[in-house]
Structure 1
Amino acid sequence: MREVAASPAPRFQDDSLIVIQDSLQPCPYLADQVARMPLQWPQRTYNAADVDAFLAAGYRRSGAFLYRTQCPRCQACEPTRVLVDEYQPSRSQRRVLRRGDRDLEVEVVPAMVDRRHIELFNLHRNQRGLGGELEDIDQMSYRAFLVDTFCQTVEFQIKREGRLVAVAVTDVGHDGVSAVYTYFDPACSRYSLGTYAILKQLQWCRQMAAAYLYLGLYVAENPHLNYKAVYGPQQRLIDGVWQRFDSSGTPPGGGSPQPRQNRV
């Protein structure tokens, strides 16, 4: 089993990175907060070691760009990774796995886009209130968001009776695998497809001998992002150090982690 004690995050420096946008904006995760998330463009293709490096430094991928939060007065966003070797599904998660494995098919393929992907993406975003006043995404926008990439990117296609009902887009490193974005058909809620997609990615990590499944940003006060606390043990990048939390969101030694949005 790998060592998973708290450890400083390595710096990620790459001469090929160019900052193409860096401005303050309304926070997409918390109301009345100001965000800064500079977009950086890699001018080359990244191998598995590069993917491990940018994930460990707290970066995320969006299309052909890298970003991480550098907000002036808020530190609520905490990059999160599950410790694959130690993770054990809860009783409810095991039920989700059994139900899904009985009725669903899962295939891992290179990231792609077609008419059903677009239909499903917009259905999920609109019915779950994730799009705000944004117009439906088209094929070009979808490709720019999820398919255009500078590293190995796959998708978990989850089907029921041959029909696509969920997609989980995933970046692949050597030690780390990153859950980039997941969407699903709200009509199939009985399968808890968001949970099922994470559980299948965790299984795949074990098959690939990956140490970490990166789940993106944990934000305690955002209901669309704080669900990640149930996948533990995990580590969160806080003040430049990967710190361990159990599946209840409690750090070693007990105590209750405090929301960090007002820290300066």
Structure 2
Amino acid sequence: MDQILGFKVWDHEEKCPYLAGRRARLPLYYPLTVMSGADLDLALSQGARRAGVYLYRVSCRACRACEPIRLDVRQFEPRRRHRRVLAKGDAQLTTVIGTAVADEERAAIYNLHKEGRGLSDEEHSPISADQYREFLVETCCETVEFGYFRNDRLVASAIADVGENSLSAVYCSYDPAESDLSLGTYSVLKQWEFCRATDRRYLYLGFYIAESPHMNYKASFLPHQRRIAGEWMDFPES
């Protein structure tokens, strides 16, 4: 048992969810209790991520493509293109931060997002509201939703886990019909604003994967840090 992550309940090689043709090892851990903010901070600093009530950490034997990535909230400053995204989004969207919700509307947006970005495959059919709840809303820590509304209609939902000194961006899904608003980037920036307003040090963005166009965009947020060979390394302004 890991003192922070809990009991290991799954540890088998499986199809990689990020890179085609690869095999992955993503051990699942079940925390014994609801995690405190401090424990979540520690787990995140060790490269852990959440999926439902479980935590996982990449432990692939022959691949090191997945690099946990985070922003130091005090050091990051939006670039000009980020400021444009913020300005456009702030003019057209209302952001509501509250309890994470699972319903048909959010499941539909999730499915549209997966289909629109080419993330669907033959093995995974559209998910139901119950499956959305199991994957994102059922949790082992404090979890919130950043809901983004355009003309009073929900167009994007971002699930985030709240630590004592950090925020972890778990998953953001949006209606591809609203892609003119760069909602994925906008959500990262709004979560950064939240961290800054609440005096949190780190914003965790999941994994950076150089070979994945769906994951390598995260490197555009500079400066940032990536966890490589167990150590957080600085990637300054380029």
TM-score range, shorter chain: over 0.9
Contact between 1:83 and 1:232, CA under 8 Å: does it hold in 2?
Answer: no
Find the residue that maps to 1:88 and give its secondary structure. coil
Match of 1:252 in 2: none
Q: Which moved more, 1:32-41 or 1:104-113?
A: 32-41
Paired with 2:5 and 2:118, the residues of 1 have a C-alpha distance of 37
C-alpha displacement at 1:70, in angstroms? 0.5
User: 1:176-202, CA deviations, whole angstroms, 9 ceiling, x for partnerless residues?
Assistant: 110000000111111111110010000
* Counterpart residue identity of residue 49, structure 1: A
C-alpha displacement at 1:43, in angstroms? 2.0
Match of 1:260 in 2: none
Paired with 1:68 and 1:131, the residues of 2 have a C-alpha distance of 23
Give structure 1 regions of 4+ aligned residues with deviation exceeding 3 angstroms: none
Find the residue that maps to 1:32 and give its secondary structure. coil
Match of 2:232 in 1: 242
C-alpha displacement at 1:20, in angstroms? 1.4
- Equivalent of 2:209 in 205, 210, 219: 219
Matches within 5 A, 1:63-78: 63-78=52-67
RMSD, aligned α-carbons: 1.3
User: 1:59-88, CA deviations, whole angstroms, 9 ceiling, x for partnerless residues?
Assistant: 000000000110010111100001110111
Count of residues in Structure 1 that have an aligned counterpart in Structure 2:
237
Contact between 2:5 and 2:43, CA under 8 Å: does it hold in 1?
Answer: no
Match of 2:51 in 1: 62
Paired with 2:4 and 2:190, the residues of 1 have a C-alpha distance of 35
Match of 1:94 in 2: 83
User: 1:208-260, CA deviations, whole angstroms, 9 ceiling, x for partnerless residues?
Assistant: 11111000011111111100001121111001110000244xxxxxxxxxxxx
Give me the identity figure in percent.
Answer: 46
Matches within 5 A, 1:1-264: 13-14=2-3, 17-133=6-122, 134-248=124-238
Contact between 1:16 and 1:44, CA under 8 Å: does it hold in 2?
Answer: no
Paired with 2:39 and 2:86, the residues of 1 have a C-alpha distance of 32
C-alpha displacement at 1:132, in angstroms? 1.1
Rate the CA distance shift 1:16–1:94 in 2: closer, same or farther, 3 A.
closer
Rate the CA distance shift 1:154–1:247 in 2: closer, same or farther, 3 A.
farther
Gaps of 5+ in 1: 1-11, 249-264
State TM-score, norm by structure 1.
0.87
Paired with 2:225 and 2:4, the residues of 1 have a C-alpha distance of 28
State TM-score, norm by structure 2.
0.96
Report which of the two structures shows the higher radius of gyration computed on alpha carbons: 1
* Counterpart residue identity of residue 127, structure 1: G
Gaps of 5+ in 2: none
Find the residue that maps to 2:112 and give its secondary structure. helix
Q: Which moved more, 1:126-135 or 1:206-215?
A: 126-135
C-alpha displacement at 1:26, in angstroms? 1.9
